[in-house]
Amino acid sequence: MRVVWVVASMAWDTGTVLMNWVVPLLAEANITVDILPLYPVERDEMPLDIVVSGVHILPPPIPGRFMRNVQASGVLRRAFKLYDRVIVDQDLDIELKAVTARTALAKKTPLIMISHIPLTEYLAARGENQISGLRRLVDALYPKLDRIVTVTDAAGRDLVEYHGVSPEQIRKAFLPLPFRSWQEAAMMSPPHHFLDTEDPILVVFGRLEVLKGMEVLINAVKVVQDHGYPIRLLVLGDGPMRSSQEQFCRSLGITAHFAGWVEAPAAWIRCAQIFVSPQYFDGAGWDIYMAMTVGVPIIATNAPHASREVLAQGALGQIVSIGEPMALAESIERWLDNEHIRSQFAIMAKQRARALDRDRVGAAWIDALTT
């Protein structure tokens, strides 16, 4: 079987990280996989390298996103002719063009979409002036997808309740966590002198943009610091808000280190006492899963939708209200004062992450994508 996995680009985001975990499972099942990024990685994006035997990354066929409306449909039509399965990442433009491209072809190659964000949320992000037109397209075309693989229950419910997708089209598959490789990486020596301290460290990981909620976390750290806790803030990741957030920390006198995108982030996270996920919106929760794997307890906001599911509605970590620095600060202080609570949450969360190791859930992905 020959499969092509279509993404917008090889930029490091939720879709490409998930693809990076799943394509080795397909290769191990003797399935030939080509990855087709439609566009080159843009200058401000972090590229994701995938090196797996039997998996080939094709060169982007479209030189820039300004050409997307001209060339993407033609590229997708060729993909349906050449492959036995076409898998598309969750990207409204790609999804809708893929469905439309297949309708004109005699060969009805199965089309599978990977969904990690509820579609209603995706549509809302496009703005009010586009929602009505896009929704009509989605409601007409999504039922024509052969299968939608979701990584959260919320994404599946949204498709059924609001977009006319049949439950029979949907498969739920848990993220196939690279549990053992993350644990091995976590055993590396502390990679930076900032981590060589007895002061408590809070760590956050991800793209630094508005929805990440970093300002809320920074204000919460300031409150905790003013209450006499000598804490440090470790920020892993990069994005358009990084410079202003670094300046914000300096203006408040917060001891912080913005490390950017780092190799072996698990080794950095392991050195922290608490992992914080302060965002306003959460796609798949893979950053939280990494903290669970390496035994660092998590405090997360009640953000839609993955955080709540990943932390089992609060059974595996502390969940606080979105956008409230005082509530976040209170939870941080409570955990810093009680190592036993942190330890218990860390143990339970790690057990859950172990149950989602790629070797345990990989068969479900192979079945969802090939049958």
The C-alpha atoms of residue 2 and residue 23 are separated, in whole angstroms, by 12
Domain limits of the chain?
Answer: 2-176+357-370, 180-355
Phi then psi for residue 260, to 5 deg, are 75, -165
Instruction: Judge whether residue 282 has pLDDT over 80.
Output: no
| 214 neighbors 238 (Cβ within 8 angstroms) | no
Q: pLDDT-based confidence at 67, cuts 50/70/90?
A: low
Output DSSP code: residue 37.
Answer: E
CATH topology identical between 2-176+357-370 and 180-355: yes
Instruction: Judge whether residue 20 has pLDDT over 90.
Output: yes
What pLDDT digit, counting tens, does each position of 134-169 carry?
888 888 888 889 999 999 898 999 999 988 899 999
What pLDDT digit, counting tens, does each position of 179-229 carry?
999 999 999 887 899 999 999 999 999 989 998 999 999 999 999 999 999
Q: pLDDT-based confidence at 5, cuts 50/70/90?
A: very high
117 three-class SS: coil
> Which amino acid type is present at position 89?
D
Query: Is CATH 3.40.462.40 the classification given to domain 2-176+357-370?
Result: no
The C-alpha atoms of residue 270 and residue 99 are separated, in whole angstroms, by 43
Question: What pLDDT is stored for residue 126 in this prediction?
Answer: 67
Q: Where are the alpha helices (DSSP H) in the chain?
A: 14-28, 68-82, 92-103, 119-124, 128-141, 153-163, 179-186, 214-226, 242-252, 265-269, 286-293, 306-310, 325-336, 339-355, 358-370
Instruction: Judge whether residue 44 has pLDDT over 70.
Output: no
Question: What pLDDT is stored for residue 127 in this prediction?
Answer: 66
Rg (alpha carbons) of the chain, rounded to whole number: 21
45 three-class SS: coil
Question: What pLDDT is stored for residue 113 in this prediction?
Answer: 95
Sign of the CA dihedral 45, 120, 322, 149?
negative
> What average pLDDT does range 252-256 have in this prediction?
97
Between the ranges 42-51, 106-115, 116-125, where is the mean pLDDT highest?
106-115
Query: Is CATH 3.40.50.2000 the classification given to domain 180-355?
Result: yes
Extract the runs of DSSP E, i.e. beta strands, from 251-311: 256-260, 274-277, 298-301
Question: What pLDDT is stored for residue 249 in this prediction?
Answer: 98
Those residues with Cβ within 8 angstroms of residue 164's Cβ, 6 or more apart along the chain or in another chain:
139, 142, 143
Question: What pLDDT is stored for residue 277 in this prediction?
Answer: 96
Q: pLDDT-based confidence at 303, cuts 50/70/90?
A: confident
Q: What is the full DSSP assignment across 120-142? A: HHHHHTT-HHHHHHHHHHHHHHG
